[in-house]
Structure 1
Amino acid sequence: MALWTMILRKMANNKWLQLNLWFGLTVCVALFSSMPLYSNAILERTLQKELQLVQSKNSVYPGYVRVSTSVSSTKMDQKTSQAIGRADRYIQSIPERMGLEALSFYQQRFTQKMKVYGADASEQEKKTQKTTGGFKSLSDMEKRVRLIDGRMPVDRTDGLFEAVVTQKFLNSVKRDLGEELLAETADKHLFRVIPVGIIDTDPAADPFLPFLATDEPDGFIIPFQQFEREFIAKDGKVRVSDLEWRYALDYKQMSIDKIEAFTEANRAIRSYFRGRLGSAEINIPANETIASYQGKQDKLDVMMLSLYSPVMLMLGFYLYMAANLVIERQKTEISVLRSRGASRLQIMTAYTLESLVLGISALAVGPFLGVTFTKVLGAASGFLEFVQRSALEVSLTSNAYKIAAAAVGGAIVLILIPAFLATRVSIVSHKQQAARLTRISFWHKTGIDILLAGLALYLLYNFNNRQEDLKRLALNSDDLQVDPLLFLMPALFALGAGLLVLRIYPWFIRLVYWVGRKWWPPALYNTLIQISRSSGQYLTIKVFLILTVSTGLFSANAARTINDNMESKIQYNIGADMTLTTRWESDAPPPSLQGAELQNQMGDNSGEKRVQYTEPPFQPFQELSGVEASAKVFRKEGARFSAGSAKKTNGAATLVGIDTKDFGQTAWMKDGLLDYPINSYLNLMATNPKAVLISRSLADAAKVKPGDPITIYWDGLDEALFTVYGIIDYWPGWNPLPAAADGEDKPTNPNLIVGHLSTIQNRLAVEPYEVWLKLKDGVSSQSVYDQLTAAKINVTGLHDAKQELITSKNDPFRLAINGVMTLGFVISMLISFFGFLLFWVLALSGRTLQYGVLRAMGIPFPQIIGMLLSEQLLTSGAAVIIGVLIGNMTSELFVPLFEMSFATAEQVPPFEIVYKLSDYLQLYSIVGLTLTIGLLILGYRLSRTRIAQALKLGEE
């Protein structure tokens, strides 16, 4: 009890220090607990959205499950009947196996088809009647069908079957309700059937799983129990041919932890019905979508841990700094206890219990703060950009608490390190260390700064080699595994480079002091001596500020770069806000006559006949409301060219035909990709109808320069002569990167030719082109879709840049990057403020005697404030400047790491680091505000210090 009393009193005496330490622990717990919470919540939200897309694209409920199997047995013996019963029981277990509640269920049975005719049919009618149908049963028939006429059938035992039929089937047998029909099997066995009702689909009966009467319109639907008794339980003289079960499962219950059970159930269902009764067909439309999420959470957790690593490193440094400051104030107390016989174990026990109190309280609050962090991550659509999207559904899980507890344990070990080191110091050695503030720090003595910077640069060198291999071999980045440590490298480099600069910085201060020692005013003179003689005292805060600022800038630049490159890639590949293709009328033969039949009809010369197209009117696109500009863009893959000296070079190229004015107003092109603005090239082309632009790959291969002729053609056409007017490296919608051809290991460089559409149509051929649209600001894609539908324009293909950008922004991995980078930047700035304030308040309170002596010597208060300000600028201010420089250097070296997250063979435009001035202004504003507030607080505390009290404190 006495130990707890001592711990609580000690914590109360250092309440502000303990509060800062608790704050760091709580943020640490919140960060770690937010990782599984976010990955689970964001993946579940995107999974639900993708499952909803299954319904919109395939017109089927996302939880739809259909199992159908034929029955290969030729007779219904006991073995087959038992197998059907086992299949029924297995089907009943599907909801439990998949972990989803069944919203609706029905099953059907089918017999083989039989010849159907009226009981009063003549021999002639029997011969000419072609109608066939079988017996069918539907579970819960009364609740699922809509009775148009007549009544529902009843189960009869007199050998007569009552059934409901569709109007189409009844018309085909040319009989009315109530008239007896005969169903004749292949072995001449007859079944007597009376249609008593006409049914149709009733969508209102079941919104999730409506029974569609049009699926199998031919046949008799009899009561389910009668079918079971007459055809399943005994041999009913007609073979049961097919069985079918359908479920509508509640897909909204699908969560990430149920994915494995769902996919395993899907495999088990397919395995169970494979050949068991006959040929089986399993239709689970959501399976592919759900299976694609298998393993995504693990990958997302690893990526988030990698992205969080710089913030965690900075947070760990903050905890160590706060704990070290606490121990520094208590070193005298620790050394006295040691001198009076207290063992190291007793002292460490006290500090461990003190840390446990802080850790448990942080564990009580941290996970709930982690929920808030998760919601902030979910609302981030870009770096420091938030949108009003529906909040993530976040609930604390046992996994989050496990990770939070592990984080608390690790943090407690970290903050106990300074206490453990302090227990080794006696009171004499403590006084000696206090008088030797110029000693070399542990970081510099062991060379950790050089080791960290060297390790980061070595890893960077290996990465660059791998990246070059990707580009040279035209491989996709997925072909190589990305090491998560690559994301930790920037933090390692920032810490190592910061320590390396701070190894040199004291010598810089001494140089400044030596150069102006005859002219410095007393305030600056005192500051320079204080800093040069006590460089170790400021090392912690300087490293902390450098790490905070540099990682903050890296996060900002990395997030901006990723967002800009992903958006540029989408817009460049599409070429405009919207591109579409429409159906053209032509004299092409119908599909049934193509291939071998077409060859037989047209003979050996069929390949020479070209399809003639009729160009549809373009005016409807120009009249679309909300469209700022439109353009025709003809694209012909595999066009041939002949160019160079004596026309020796032949090859394939992508031919693009445009109207220069319309194209310039419609197309999207990133600045800096071409030697001149794209409109300059278009204006150059406009002067000559035969002018073309060619890609640099074609120019290098054929040794062609501007002014040289080039001939263009494709199969079945005569050559047309054009003139090269310019050489380009990029063009909207064209990928200039090499691609491996089929069956070839060596990648080939693609070629491009851009010419006038009118010239191509006049001198070569008229073939379908694309329509490119540029939308006005604020115009939605849906309004354009509605107008196209209203105008009855037959759209055969569509690419919408806006929708693809929205899809890209909602990608879980991109949301994680933007959210983590934003959160990391905000936390860095917040921690920086608390760390700065904590250090300087403690530093000021520790030098109360010094300032009291200076005031007693007659130094005016404004000069003391000047001393404090100059000390701030030469320590904290210098650390911020060093942090900005290292942050920029880190961004230049390591932001290209994120190119690994893009498909290297498709990354066009080239990956480019993006800097945004607003991020720097925000950083400078926050740091400046921190320094200003800190200085005001320090000045206020200094003004409240009484000289007599300070001198008396020094005597004591």
Structure 2
Amino acid sequence: MALFVMIIRKMVQNKWLVSSMFFGILMTVALVGTMPIYSEAILTRMLVKDLETFQTDKGVYPGSHWSLMGFYNETSDRKAKLIAEMDDYMANKAGPGFGIPVTELVRERRTKSVLLIPEGEEDSKKSRLSATIRSYNDFERHIVLEDGRMAAKQPVDGIYEVILTEQALGNFKLVLDKVVTLKDDKILGTVKIKPVGIFSKKQDDDPYFRNASLSDMNSVFVMDEGMFTQEFIKGNKVPVTAGGWFFVLDYTKMELSNVNQFLTTDLAIRAEVKKKVVTFQSEFNTPALATITKYFERSKQLNKLMWSLNVPVLIMLGFYMFMVSNLIVDRQKNEIAILRSRGASRWQIVLSFALEGLLLCGIAWIVGPFIGMGLTKLLGASNGFLEFVQRTRMVVHLNDKAFLYGGIAAVVSFVMMLIPVVMATRVSIVGHKQQLARMQKMPFWHKAFLDVAALAVSIYGLYTFQNRLKDLKSLGLNTDDLNIDPLQFVMPALFVVGAGLLLLRLYPYVLKLVYWIGRRWWPPSLYATLIQVGRSNSQYQFLMVFLIMTIAIGVFSAGAARTINTNTEDRIRYGNGADFVLQAQWQNDAPPPPAPGAPPAASATPVPKVIHYLEPSFDPYLELAGVESAAKVFTKEKATFQSGESQGTATLIGIDSDEFGRTSWFPDQLLDYPFYDYLNLLAADSRAVLISRTLAEQRGLKTGDTLNVGWENISAQAFVIFGIIDYFPTFNPNPPVGSIDASEEDAKANAPMLIVGNLSRIQFQLALEPYEVWVKMKPGASTPAFYESIEKLELPLTNVVNTKEELTRAKNDPFLLALNGILTLGFIISIVVSFVGFLLYWILSLKGRTLQNGIMRAIGLSLRQLIGMLALEQLLTSGVAILIGVMVGNIASRLFVPNFQIAFNPSSLVPPFKVMFEMSDFIRLYSIVCIMLLLGLGILSYMLSRIRVHQALKLGED
């Protein structure tokens, strides 16, 4: 108890110092705890966005689950029992088991298909139509009557009333209120139905209906559910062949925590249905399964990327805790040495610090994750690196992993606090005074050459990693096909630390050189500062390494964010080729497609070997609103080529070089010469073609060779190779993922090949076939106006590719949002913790030099000169560290950011992944760092101004 009281008193006496330490631990726990919270939140958003995209693209509601149980030879009692059991199972077990709200549970019942005999046509010999009768629960709430009335819930004069769609009424060639007799071998007695109403959906987007167009009801009569159960299921008047259950789930509430519940329940439903029906006559449909499967793959990629980005931050946090703990223990080393000299044992001293650390870390562990949850909500608005916009808040939950990660951070902080204490307790009062007199001793990492070792390991890791990436591209493999060493994620941090320490090893020599150059002219304040920094170099090592890591990681984060964002945009632009790609319908002499439902013999029109097309006018494309230029681009897959004994198939692209150069998008410095020079080669001769390097290497071709090109049913014509290119708009020279075996020879033999020629010669000597129209828009052109002009000119387009729309979709992709959020989070962690460490270090440093500063004032130095000395000292330490951090961060970005390709499929990354920087990113980065330094300098200047000479001198006497 006495020890605990002593610890509390010590904490109260050093409340400012303890508060700073607690703030550092709290921020570390909070920010580390943010990582799993943000990970779960962004993965949840990614899943919901993927499902929304699926609904938009496919027109199918993804939050649904349909299962159908078929009956074969079961008795009516057996059918009734099975249906009742499944109704109970679906409502009470399966529904809650999904883990997300159930909006609707639609129960569907079906009879077998029976023949229809309209009243008065019993003796007619014309072919009979067939239909099924179905029932749905709560059907009336989701439909509106277009004609007639709702069907009765009980038989009327022994006739069952039904309703149907207008399409079904036309297919059956019936009118309302006309009685129809059902005919089938298994019908007991005479069963008559009467259609009394025509219905349609109340809402077009109502997910209650499995088929949005109601096409599955074109041969169906719908009966009241209660009457169907009583008369058909229990009464067995018409054989019931199936029962279905259709869940409509609110998929927007699906989260990472309940995805497995959804999948488990899906499997449980399938097993339950198959268990009850011996013949396994069942059907299932879960539209979200494919998206969820793809989501797991994307989440795996995202987790891989998150760790690769977070590991350097975690290493930096560990270093921060060690630095701060070391500073605090240095502050109390004199007290520890005195206690040891007066008989206190080492474990008693360690225990006192351990209890203090347990108290601080315990409180931080409890409070930190809640602060982390608040930070996660702010990060949901990230739109780029350090960019925030108004966006729907993410679904954020405080999960167990947040406390686990926070607990690990607290434990690491606790251990880091104790390591300097344990080391300090080994020193006696005499040894402590000796250490104070030896401030120029070489740090341990320089003695052990840890800087050289860290650099060597990181460069070796970079070399092996790049070789693996090369294999991924050349072999067309997926990122999961090669085992990636988790230590690869540590390589950027190792490089930063190694390079920073290596430059710090050289820094004292630079200081000595500066001192020697101006030793006759330096003013006293500058002279004193150079002496202070030069002789106490080891004292500043921790702070400088820490600032180097912080700034370098910030630069690295900015470079990674800009590179991945820009490369994603470039990949979309390159893959499409232009702002818009339009495909029109051409008139031709091909036979019309067969009518729906027509027998094959009816459509046996001979297809000509060569289809002749009539080219539409090209001028209307130039008249579209906002168009700057347009180009004709003909693409023929699997065109045949032959040169000597070499032959094969390649993609043939025909262009008009001038219009194509004005319209297409192609990045600079991707080819050996400017892109337009290659287009000029085409313009020089109508026979000229460009071939891909893959074609040249696989078939041993070179410039000047003759190449005969054609395609099926088209005679080959001679062309001359004028140039060899690595890339061309839309062309990916890498083998598709999974297309080849993992062997280099197979990779070279299966790489895609390309031939680019003049469109006019291809059309004149080969064939005139439909081409695409590539369109480049004027800056700021309106997309809606462009679409309106297409409608106004009545262009018969069959397909439109909008690059701007794809870019917007990519920018809102949760994967990139997650990436930007992670990088922003990492930088905020670095800056906040850096500021705390920076301020704590300098405050402790000032407190430790109170006597020195008091003597400086006493011998005549003004407060302005003292502040100038402090600013110069910061410039020579913090400023130099920041400069080194910027330099190391740039080098690390150029070396290690390309490794983030592993989070994608490297084979699909065309143009190649290229590290990019933008000045706006660095302006934000350097602005924040400058604000941090100026704020810190202001606080330190204020503290310096509060020093009283008589107090400092009295302290020296004590």
The TM-score with structure 2 as length reference comes to 0.89
User: After superposition, where does 1:253-272 map in structure 2 within 5 Å?
Assistant: 253-272=253-272
1:718 aligns with 2:715: yes
Where does residue 819 of structure 1 map in the other structure? 821
Question: Is the aligned partner of 1:951 residue 2:953?
Answer: yes
> Which shifted more, 512-521 or 690-699?
512-521
Separation of aligned partners in 2, 1:335 and 1:457: 43
The answer on 1:498 being equivalent to 2:503 is no
Matching residue of 1:224: 225
| 1:60-112 deviation per Cα after TM superposition (whole angstroms, max 9, x unaligned) | 33333322243221x63544443333333333333122123332233232322
Encode CA deviations 1:572-630: one digit per residue, 9 max, x unaligned.
Answer: 11111222323333222345599x989x9799xx8x82111222333443333233332
8 Å contact from structure 1 (residues 527, 871) kept in 2: yes
Counterpart in 2 of 1:91?
Answer: 90
- Name the residue aligned to 2:849: 847
Residue matched to 1:913: 915
Q: Does 1:665 align with 2:696?
A: no
Following the alignment from structure 1 to structure 2, what is the Cα–Cα distance between the partners of residues 174 and 939?
A: 94
2:87 partner letter: D
- SS of equivalent to 1:355: helix
> Is 783-792 or 222-231 further displaced after alignment?
783-792
Contact 2:854 2:952 (8 Å CA) reproduced: yes
Residue 789 and residue 48 in structure 1: after superposition, are their counterparts in 2 closer, same or farther (change >3 A)?
farther
Do structure 1's residue 828 and structure 2's residue 825 form an aligned pair? Answer: no
Q: CA deviation at 1:254?
A: 1.7
* Residues 905 and 428 of structure 1: CA distance in aligned 2, closer, same or farther (over 3 Å): same
Q: Relative to structure 1, is the Cα distance of residues 86 and 676 closer, same or farther in structure 2, using a 3 angstrom cutoff?
A: same
Task: Give me the whole-angstrom Cα distance separating, in 1, the residues matched to 2:328 and 2:377.
Answer: 34
* In 1: Cα distance, 2:532 partner to 2:548 partner: 21
Change beyond 3 A, Cα 1:303–1:223: same
Q: Is the 8 A contact 1:17 1:322 kept in 2?
A: no
Range moving further from structure 2, 797-806 or 765-774: 797-806
Check 1:899–1:185 CA distance in 2 against 1; reply closer, same or farther (3 A cut).
closer
Residues in 2 aligned to 1:34 and 1:779: alpha-carbon distance in whole angstroms: 42
The superposition leaves residues 20-41 of structure 1 with CA deviations (integer Å, 9 ceiling, x where unpaired) of 2222222212222222221222
CA distance in structure 2 between the partners assigned to 1:32 and 1:819 by the alignment: 14
Cα gap change, 1:401 to 1:834, in 2 (>3 Å): closer
Which residue number corresponds to residue 530 of structure 1? 532
Q: Distance in 1 between matches of 2:342 and 2:926?
A: 50
Deviation by residue 1:457-483 (Cα, 9 ceiling, x = unmatched) = 332232133223224434333422444
Shift of 1:635: 0.8
Specify the SS of the correspondent of 2:715: coil
Describe the shift of the 1:938–1:251 C-alpha distance in structure 2 as closer, same or farther (beyond 3 A). closer
1:803 corresponds to? 805
Deviations 1:846-868 (A, max 9, x none): 22333444454556666655654
Q: Distance in 1 between matches of 2:769 and 2:473?
A: 35
Larger CA deviation: 563-572 vs 194-203? 194-203
- TM-score, normalised to structure 1's length? 0.89
Distance 1:724 1:222 in 2: 72
1:42: which partner in 2?
A: 42
Partner-residue secondary structure (3-state), 1:215: helix
Do structure 1's residue 728 and structure 2's residue 734 form an aligned pair? no
Residue of 276, 285, 290 corresponding to 2:287: 285
- Equivalent residue number for residue 462 of structure 1: 464
Q: Give unpaired runs (5+ residues) of structure 1.
A: none
Matched residue of 2:323: which SS? helix
Task: Name the structure 1 match of 2:239.
Answer: 239
In structure 2, the residue matched to 1:110 is 110
In the alignment, structure 2 segments of 5+ residues that lack a partner are: none
Secondary structure of the residue aligned to 1:617 is coil
Q: Deviations over 1:488-535 (max 9, x none)?
A: 211122123322333343344445556665666554444444334322
Q: In the alignment, is the contact (CA less than 8 A) between 1:377 and 1:816 conserved in 2? A: no
1:652–1:90 CA distance, 2 compared to 1 (3 A): same
Q: Is the 8 A contact 2:305 2:903 kept in 1?
A: no
Give 3-state SS (helix, strand or coil) of 1:209's partner: coil
Deviation at 1:429, TM superposition (A): 2.1
In structure 1, the residue corresponding to 2:638 is in which secondary structure?
strand
User: What one-letter code is carried by the residue in structure 1 that aligns with 2:876?
Assistant: L
Instruction: Quote the residue 2:129 is aligned against.
Output: 131
Deviates more, 1:93-102 or 1:846-855: 846-855
Q: Which residue of 1 aligns with 2:763?
A: 761
Show the 5 A alignment for 1:4-19.
Answer: 4-19=4-19
TM-aligned CA deviation for residue 787 of structure 1: 5.1
1:409 Cα shift? 2.7
1:293 is paired with a residue of what secondary structure? helix
Per the alignment, residue 873 of structure 1 pairs with: 875
Q: 1:48 to 1:867 in 2, by over 3 A?
A: closer
1:794: how far off? 4.7
1:741 Cα deviation from its structure 2 partner:
6.1
Does structure 2 retain, via aligned residues, the 8 Å contact 1:31–1:370? yes
| Greater mean alpha carbon deviation, residues 202-211 or residues 761-770 | 202-211
My pick for the range that moved more, 133-142 or 842-851, is: 133-142
Q: Secondary structure at the match of 1:87?
A: helix
Over 3 Å counting, the alpha-carbon distance change for 1:770 and 1:224 in structure 2 is same
Give SS of 2:216's match.
Answer: coil
Q: Which residue type is aligned with residue 89 of structure 1?
A: D
Conserved in 2, the CA contact under 8 Å of 1:582 and 1:796? yes
Secondary structure class of the residue paired with 1:693: strand
In the aligned structure 2, how far is the partner of 1:531 from the partner of 1:206?
A: 72
Matches within 5 A, 1:857-896: 857=859, 867-896=869-898
Change in 2 beyond 3 A, CA 1:579/1:447: same
Counterpart AA for 1:820: I
- What is the correspondence of 1:399-548 to structure 2 with a 5 Å cutoff? 399-510=401-512, 513=515, 522-548=524-550
Is 1:589 the equivalent of 2:587? no
Separation of aligned partners in 2, 1:936 and 1:190: 99
Corresponding residue for 1:686?
683
Paired positions, count: 945
SS at match of 1:719: strand
Correspondence list, 1:785-796, <5 A: 785=787, 788=790, 793-796=795-798
Aligned partners of 1:701 and 1:214: how far apart in 2?
51
Counterpart-to-counterpart distance in 1, 2:220 and 2:849? 99
> Which amino acid is the alignment partner of residue 89 of structure 2?
Y
The answer to whether the Cα contact below 8 Å between 1:146 and 1:201 also exists between their aligned partners in 2 is yes
Q: CA–CA distance in 1 between the matches of 2:542 and 2:587?
A: 76
Stretch of structure 1 that moved more, 850-859 or 240-249: 850-859
The answer to whether the 8 A contact 1:550-1:883 is kept is yes
Q: How far apart are the structure 2 equivalents of 1:265 and 1:298?
A: 23
Describe how 1:74-85 pairs up with structure 2 within 5 A: 76-85=75-84
Over residues 743-776 of structure 1, what are the superposed CA-to-partner deviations in whole Å (9 max), with x where a residue is unaligned? 8834334433322222211121111212222233
Aligned to 1:182: 181
Q: Which amino acid aligns with 1:66?
A: W
* Cα distance change of structure 1 residues 811 and 132 upon mapping to structure 2, 3 Å threshold: closer
Please state whether the residue corresponding to 2:775 is helix, strand or coil: strand
Q: Is the 8 A contact 1:182 1:190 kept in 2?
A: no
Q: Does the 8 Å contact 1:114/1:132 carry over to 2?
A: yes
Q: Secondary structure at the match of 1:560?
A: helix
User: Given that residues 28 and 312 in structure 1 are in contact (C-alpha distance below 8 angstroms), is that contact kept between their aligned partners in structure 2?
Assistant: no
Q: Distance in 2 between matches of 1:296 and 1:714?
A: 39
Check the 8 A contact 1:383/1:821 in 2, yes or no.
yes
**Residues in 1 aligned to 2:300 and 2:918: alpha-carbon distance in whole angstroms:** 32
Q: 1:142 to 1:914 in 2, by over 3 A?
A: closer
The CA deviation string for residues 909-936 of structure 1, in whole angstroms up to 9 with x for no partner, is 1222223344445544544554455455
How far did 1:151 drift?
5.4
Cross-structure match for 1:611: 611
The question of 1:379 aligning with 2:381 is answered yes
1:333-412 mapped onto 2 (5 Å cutoff) = 333-363=335-365, 365-412=367-414
CA distance in 1, matches of 2:149, 2:534: 104
Moved more, 204-213 or 269-278: 204-213
In structure 2, distance between residues paired with 1:738 and 1:176 = 60
Match for 1:229: what amino acid? Q
CA contact (8 A) 1:684 1:725 kept: yes
- Indicate conservation of the 8 Å contact 2:386/2:924, yes or no: no
> Partner of 1:747 in structure 2?
748
Distance in 1, matches of 2:166 and 2:733, equals: 60
**Distance change (3 Å), C-alpha of 1:755 and 1:155:** same
Q: 1:39·1:297 contact (CA, 8 Å) conserved in 2?
A: no
Instruction: Quickly say closer, same or farther: Cα 1:841–1:796, change in 2 above 3 A.
Output: same
